[in-house]
Chains A and B, each alone.
Chain A
Amino acid sequence: MIALTTSLAAAIGTVIVRYLKLGHSLLQFTGCQLFTGGVLLILLSIVWYLPTSSRILPL
């Protein structure tokens, strides 16, 4: 299910992006959404691993 989520979520994201017709904002929108999504992932990682491990960041 986790592996299928990769495809499904990416497909939904792609269809939304296609619907939005980014035009000249393609680069900026991609950069900002990657950064925002990355911050969400780090926060999710903290919530996920904090109770069980002190190893949160990939260092």
Chain B
Amino acid sequence: MGQNLSSTNASVSQKMHPVLRIGLLAYIVVTASACYVLILKGLESAPPLAFAGARTILGGLSLILFSVLSGQRVLPERRLWGWLPLVALTATTLTFGSMFLSPGYAGAGLASILGNAQPLFIVVIGFFALGERLSRWQTLALLVGLIGVLIIISPTLAGGNSGLFVGR
């Protein structure tokens, strides 16, 4: 439990060539950001929640189908069944529901920035819930990130742009 975040994925990342590692990170950033623009485009012809539901059902079925075709079992271990509804609610329903709703309210750019602030929250929740420690640099990066989020939402907190919280 009390492991350092920097050493968590060290074995995987250290095996990668630095250029490949940076390329992979850039790919994740580009696809995660482009996703919001595509969602905004798709919202012209689909209701947000059903659009999000269709996407996640398709994704889930694809993974289940892959499990079947590759000869693996379809269901996860029994000990995990009880956790399934909670993870589905947080990691899929709330995440994708708000992801597909937010561009319509806050615009693709702002929704993308706030929607991708996930690593900052993971670090904070991981620190309190899992006892994961942070290095000095990671703490500094976290503070800079959180200050950035605060700057972005400050007009709303000051009452200048209520659109970010409640819509246009």
Pairing of A with B: yes
A34 to B53, CA, bound (A): 9
Q: Chain B: interface residue count, which band?
A: 35 or more
What does DSSP make chain B's interface, helix, strand, loop or mixed?
A: helix
Of the residues A14, A18, A33, A57, contact of B88 by C-beta under 8 Å:
A33
A-B contact count (CB 8 A): 218
The listed residue (B48, B63, B99, B110) touching A27 by CB distance below 8 A is: B63
Within 8 Å by CB of A36, from B52, B88, B111, B166, lies B88
Q: Is the CB of B47 within 8 A of A28?
A: no
Question: What is the interface of chain A mostly: helix, strand, loop, or mixed?
Answer: helix
Given contacts A7-B121, A40-B93, whether A56 and B55 have CB atoms under 8 Å apart is no
Judge whether B99 and A6 touch: CB under 8 Å.
Answer: yes
Give the chain B neighbours of A49 by CB distance below 8 A: 47, 49-50
Determine the chain B residues whose CB is within 8 A of the CB of A37 once the complex forms: 56, 60, 88-89, 91-93, 96
Can you report 10 A-B residue pairs in the complex whose CB atoms are below 8 A from each other? Answer: A3-B106, A13-B95, A16-B91, A20-B83, A28-B75, A33-B92, A38-B58, A41-B92, A49-B47, A58-B51
The 3 closest A-B pairs by CB, nearest first: A37-B92, A13-B91, A35-B60
Query: Which positions in A face B, CB cutoff 8 Å?
Result: 1-20, 22, 24-25, 27-42, 44-45, 48-49, 53, 55-58
